[in-house]
Amino acid sequence: MNTMKKTQLDKTILVCLLVLNSLFLIYWSILAFYSQLHFDDLSFLWMMREMSVFDYVKNMYFSQSGRFVGYAINGVVSIITDLLGFHQFWAILYYIFGLSICLLVVKDFKLNISRPTLFMGMCFVYNLYILTNIDFPVFFWVCAMSYYLFFPMACLLLKYLNKEKLNWKEWTILGVLVMLIGGGNEAFSVVVLLMMFVCGMYWWKSKEWKVKETWALPQVRRIVWIAVLILILFSIVVVAPGNYARMSDTSQFVHPKGLYGWVMAIVEAVVMFFYFMAFYIPYYLILFVLAYYVGGKMNLELHQTKMKTIVKLVIGFVAYLFVSSLPNVYLYGGFGIQRTYTHIVFALLLTVIAIGVVLGADNKSTKSGWFSVAGLSLLAVIMFVNILKDTPTAKSYGKAVDDRIAYLCSLRDKGQKETVEVEPFPVPYTEDPKHLFLHLLGKETPKSVLYYTSDTDKVPNEYEYHLKKVLNLDFDFVLAKEEP
């Protein structure tokens, strides 16, 4: 009878996960459908009409940044967007990429749970990852969508590096991962190299610090050679003249000065991260309880006490947070943590899962399973409300942008030359736990938005310039003057 109840509970959890993940997918699809191009996306769009991908990457390498792989991908994405005439599918395509990478990471794990439950659970983790990121709107910013793939890619890279043997498909994927990580984001490349170093130290310790025996391991040789390749790619990125030309802009790049400046900037970055994440504790609590229940179903063998294991997990995450903040603290000061939020949030999610599994080991009670059902059901209600409330907001914003573009194009076709006035876009606000909580305390804070919006101003600006280039306009457009 007890076994039958557990089986029914497992089926209930699976159904809850299926419903919840379906609501997430509906939500992302609606927001993707009404999303609009940011001015960065517009700039890439018109540039790719005037130059090849190679010339575009070369131009960016010498004027903006050395991320030659990342810019090459942006160039291809812009060409495809221009050819098709729409961009809305990119968010869902990147979503599928991210999920696929995560599933490749976990597919060989021997867990005492069904494959459908593992698949649905991984989907839930990835959806929570998107929902609880500090700057949620980045998910719909075409040129920045790849940020969500970096940590899953790093996990897959580490998995393949530490396998004894790889087949040709895994070698191919590993080569692609090396190119993307090494030439796509120099700040993250350093973090991945450090994680690889930790893996190498693990294998060295397993061979009692004997060099010859350690080097005989295929995993160690693979780690070393892949590290060399990533270092070469990293060097190509770092030496780019565009990095130094761009860093001369002191309004955007503020470097810490002296030991005190470094310490304060790092503290500010770390504290800011925990401040943002504190408002998502209820979401992570649902994930923790689910992981706790799964931990009780796994045959987990701990080589030390649960408390020691958890302490190591927490220390490991804090160390990761600290190291990840360093490159961006150097570039942006304490605000730099917002430039690395995506992969740090994923690391936090994995830490929460690991702690839940460790604590739940040997636990045979079904209480945590039913708490999981309650939490997943509550989150499903929240996502249903989000769909109802945010769809009209997203639709209003998307329609306003489309209407303005249609209006400007009609004036262009009539031979317009004089400056025209346009109405401002409605801001696509959404409800957010942080804003709601602080509002209850009587504190005012900027409301969260569904998208990073781009609009013109009282005078021609960057957005106006790029949209003119994309639409081939011969006139300026500015916001209508406010009534006195």
Write out pLDDT tens, residues 192-241.
Answer: 999 999 999 999 999 999 999 999 999 999 999 999 999 999 999 989 99
User: In this structure, what are the phi and psi dihedrals at residue 421, rounded to the nearest 5 degrees?
Assistant: -100, 145
What distance in Å separates the CA atoms of residue 303 and residue 247, rounded to the nearest whole number? 48
| Residue 121 pLDDT | 93
- For position 1, what pLDDT does the model report? 41
**What per-residue confidence (pLDDT) applies to 253?**
65
Averaged over 253-270, what is the pLDDT?
Answer: 80
> What is the DSSP code (8-state) at residue 303?
S
Dihedral-angle region of residue 385 (phi above 0 means left; psi in -120 to 50 means alpha; beta otherwise):
alpha
311-339 mean pLDDT: 79
Task: For residue 89, give the amino acid letter.
Answer: F
Whole-model pTM: value is 0.92
Average pLDDT value for residue range 346-370: 91
pLDDT (tens digit per residue) in 77-108: 999 999 999 999 999 999 999 999 999 999 88
462-471 vs 39-50: helix crossing angle, rounded to 10 = 40
The mean pLDDT value of the chain amounts to: 89
The contacts of residue 135 (CB under 8 Å, 6+ apart) are: 338, 341
pLDDT tens, position by position, 382-432? 999 999 999 999 999 999 999 999 999 999 999 999 999 999 999 999 888
How many C-beta atoms surround the C-beta of residue 364 within 10 A?
9
pLDDT of residue 444: 75
Amino acid at site 458: K
For 18-48, write each residue's pLDDT tens digit.
999 999 999 999 999 999 998 889 999 999 9
Where are the domains positioned within the chain? 397-479
Whether 293 has a pLDDT exceeding 60, the answer reads yes
Q: Residue 87: its pLDDT value, please?
A: 94
* Predicted local distance difference test score (pLDDT) of residue 249: 66
Residues in the chain: 484
